[in-house]
Structure 1
Amino acid sequence: MTRMKILGFVMAGLALVACGGDEGDGDGGSGSDIEGKQLGALTAEEADGLCDDLRGQTNTISKEDECEAEGVVGSLFGIECETTKQECISAAEESELTGELDSCGASQFTGCTATVAELRACMTAVVGTIKALTCESTLADIAQKPAACAAAEEKCPAFFGRQDEEDESEAEGP
């Protein structure tokens, strides 16, 4: 399995929280003045600022952290984690994280009632989860959703890829 495919699995979690970030410097939508604002109510400039914050936060994930996560995912497919990690570290490829966020923008927040603070907390937890992975990590470590994401996911199901599940449960009825 290629590095890009394996990393794609790991980065799917980040893609689900595509535009939440760490607290920023107050420019372009980051900072405490919008923390309580619903994502669906952000201006384009505020959403872009929030997306920029996220790109900055993903830059805190080192290549070693990224490669270790890749190794853990590879081990789920029978590929030895440490070998995958070392091959990844040796590769000249750039990080895939920023590329996952290229499409981040206000249109992704349509109808989302989670606040900026709730999404920031979720993103911080997701990045922390990736940083905490080691070759001793298990499928449960990868599959476990951070508790900090529960509020944002509930308020923005389509944003988190749950729209189909809700549509199916509504169609089934009570």
Structure 2
Amino acid sequence: MYPAQYIEFLAHFNGDRDYFECHEILEEYWKESNDRSKDSIWVGLILLAVSRYHHRRRNFNGAKRTLEKAIKIFSLHDRQQILLGLDMDTFFPMLSKLLAQADKEEGYQSITLPISDPALLEACIKECQNKGFNWGKESNLEDVSIIHRHKLRDRTNVIEERMEALKNKKGSE
């Protein structure tokens, strides 16, 4: 019923708190899906993960900016969030609280996305177990490999893709 990538996203978001990986997983899914709109619910979830990543790194402006974009997208898709198994009565107030925390430059705190569908919750917990981490565990603020992941990753493919796109653009002019 739910895309495997969504379950994996939720397992990372609520398990090992690897928000960078959350971004990667859903961005790939979004690119492959038929819904490539910038206002896609998947983009909203990606931006939420990016916001948490920024907040944990104390980049409050980045956290606030990306969360504001995510909230705007989520507000366009009230009904679709229910289809994604999220508890809307808890979800939107949670987002408002996160936005206020970023605005006040309060320190990062782990959150768990509220899942209302018991089958989805079970699938996510099982995914966490398969990956060797625990659902609902607090973020390890000492784990540099997760907190500063964007600085530590291999960007060879990204650079190659950008160079190819630039070359193609120049060739078409």
**What TM-score results when the alignment is normalised by the length of structure 1?**
0.30
**What TM-score results when the alignment is normalised by the length of structure 2?**
0.30
